[in-house]
Amino acid sequence: MSGHGTPIPMQSRAGSPLTGTALIPGDKSVSHRALILGALSIGETRITGLLEGEDILDTAKAMAAFGADVKRLGDGEWLVHGVGVGGFGEPEDVIDCGNAGTGVRLIMGAMATSPISATFTGDASLRSRPMGRITDPLVLFGAHAYGRTKGRLPLTLVGAQSPHGVRYTSPHPSAQIKSAVLLAGLNAAGDTVLIEKAKTRDHTERMLRGFGADIETVKTHAGYEITLKGQPELKALDIAVPRDPSSAAFPVCAALIVEGSDILLPNIGLNPTRAGLFSTLVDMGADISFENRREEGGEPVADLRVKYSELKGIEVPPERAPSMIDEYPILSVVAAFASGKTVMRGIKELRVKECDRIDAMARGLEAMGVTIEEGEDYLIVHGQSGDVKGGGVAKTFIDHRIAMSFLCMGLATREPVSVDDGAAIATSFPIFQDLMQGLGADIT
């Protein structure tokens, strides 16, 4: 659980170029899903490369609370003995998902069609985030939700007694909404159909297929229509979790802005629904090569080689937003070092992440001497052609990606960059500081 302890102020400063090999931890999205689907399947699911960040450890604890047998065998190696679709038992205590929006939302979906109740909570960040976007479709299956105003946590979900599949059009481009509906559909009779206008990350669909579910995506005039046949028997699967592209984004972007850098990042997940940042960086002139492209565990991966590059600002295509939604904070840092303006539009979902990320980046960039323009769904960063002052303190609002973005920024600014609290980094990238120091970064 993050956000409960004492704040950890951190600082970064310019120094040597970044060089060497960065072994990025496992993908957070895939790790949550591996534990949850392992818990809903019959037999033993062996997971390798699992992210051991706080968000994932909270999901592992939750799966045990619902009755699965979850064991850690060694570094990133876990065994989940599942209870089968419909086999969840009622947890004896409150489920605390810490900082994890994905954790709590997917788990709510997974339990909403079982005849049990559970109460969910989280840290101050998670308790401030909207849950109505998840409980609205879950209620259609017959579940009942009792949360605070605007559906905020703590929230009690009473699972449906005799759930039937639903047809639901997601009002937001959100893989969490899609996944919650599909996971609820597993224990519902008949088909569950989820329609999304823009394609969001599809790890749930890929993994469900791997576990033996009957699931199909069809492109229609309305967008992407995903149909899942209810009440399948999911069979345990061995899962090799790819390394997280969203975590890789930090050393990748740091190398691009620190002169003389040249780093290698093996085995990075490059699912097209996640890889938008890399396309954007290449559009800005980044020297990134994708070596040994291959498929591992149903997900495309490659080794990334990244060298310092002089970048130019661009207009990021708004339709690319779902495939790089978590990367706008670090992109806005890179944009400050580019020449010309970088325009990021269609990003209002950033306002409901671990914090309001448009506001957090705007205020932090201003504190570092960068000119920005912001609106409800856009952020424009005026690039300073490599010469950025820094010297300020960025507020991080219990948000791991805000903290890591500003720490990367300080590696290339004239004056050091401070963040008020880096504690949340442990939710997704517990080895961030060690890994960056290993590449030559000065982060204390």
Q: Binding to ligand S3P by residue 135, rule CB under 6 A? A: no
- Taking CB under 6 A as the criterion, the residue among 2, 12, 179, 418 binding ligand S3P is 179
User: Is residue 73 packed enough to be buried (19+ CB in 10 Å), middle (13-18) or exposed (0-12)?
Assistant: exposed
Is 125 an interacting residue with respect to ligand S3P (CB under 6 A)? no
* φ and ψ at residue 409, rounded to 5 degrees: -60, -45
Question: Smallest distance, Å, CB 428 to ligand S3P?
Answer: 8
User: Is position 13 an interface residue for ligand S3P (rule: CB under 6 A)?
Assistant: no
316-335 core/surface letters (b: 16 or more CB in 10 A; e: else): beeebbbbbbbbbbbbbbbb
Q: Whole-number minimum distance, CB 245 to ligand S3P, in Å?
A: 12
Give the shortest CB-1-to-ligand S3P separation in angstroms.
Answer: 17
> Rg (Cα) of the chain, in Å, rounded?
21
Q: Are strands 117-121 and 144-146 parallel, antiparallel or unpaired?
A: unpaired
Number of residue whose CB is nearest ligand S3P: 29
Of 152-160, 169-177, 230-238, 382-390: span binding ligand S3P (CB under 6 A): 169-177
Using CB under 6 A, which of 2, 31, 45, 102 touches ligand S3P?
102
If binding is defined by CB under 6 A, does position 2 make contact with ligand S3P?
A: no
Choose between 111 and 388: whose C-beta lies nearer to ligand S3P: 111
Question: With respect to ligand S3P, which residue has the nearer C-beta, 27 or 421?
Answer: 27
- Strands of the 215-220 sheet, one edge to the other: 167-169, 191-196, 223-229, 215-220
Q: Choose between 175 and 195: whose C-beta lies nearer to ligand S3P.
A: 175
Which residue(s) pair with 417 in the sheet? 12
- Binding of ligand S3P by 357 (CB under 6 A): no
Considering only 55, 244, 349, 421, the residue that binds ligand S3P (CB under 6 A) is 349
Question: In angstroms, what is the minimal distance from the CB of 148 to ligand S3P?
Answer: 19
Alpha carbons 124 and 134: distance in angstroms, whole number: 19
CA 191-196-198 angle, to 5 degrees, is: 150
Please, which residues have CB within 8 angstroms of residue 39's CB and are 6 or more apart in sequence? 63, 66, 67, 68, 70, 80, 82, 83, 88, 110
Whether omega before 154 lies within 30 degrees of 0, making that bond cis, reads yes
Which residue, 125 or 179, is less far from ligand S3P as judged by CB?
179
Q: Which among 55, 96, 123, 326 is annotated as catalytic?
A: 326
For ligand S3P, which residue of 244, 326, 327, 399 counts as binding (CB under 6 A)? 326
Q: Which is nearer to ligand S3P, 13 or 105 (CB)?
A: 105
How remote is the C-alpha of 77 from its chain's centroid? 20
Q: Name the DSSP class of 61.
A: H
Q: How far is 234 from 84, CA to CA, in rounded Å?
A: 7
The Cα–Cα gap between 216 and 263 comes to: 39
Nearer to ligand S3P among residue 55 and residue 96 (C-beta): 55
- Interface mask toward ligand S3P for 276-315; x: CB under 6 A: ----------------------------------------
253: helix, strand or coil: helix
* Among the residue ranges 73-81, 143-151, 171-179, 231-239, the one whose residues contact ligand S3P (CB under 6 A): 171-179
Site string for ligand S3P, 189-228 (x = CB under 6 A): ------------x---------------------------
Can you point out the beta strands (E) in 272-398? 287-296, 299-307, 315-316, 339-345, 372-375, 378-384, 393-394
Q: Which is nearer to ligand S3P, 18 or 424 (CB)?
A: 424
Nearer to ligand S3P, 101 or 313 (CB): 101
Taking CB under 6 A as the criterion, the residue among 104, 302, 325, 362 binding ligand S3P is 325
Residue 416 DSSP one-character state: -
Q: Which two tokens stand for residue 261?
A: 């850098």
Alpha carbon distance 27, 242 (integer Å): 6
Q: Which amino acid is at 308?
A: Y
Minimal distance, residue 312 CB to ligand S3P, in Å: 27
Active site residue 326: yes
Number of residues that bind ligand S3P (CB under 6 A): 11
Binding site residues, ligand S3P, CB under 6 A: 29, 102, 174-176, 179, 201, 325-326, 349, 353
Residues marked active site are found at 326
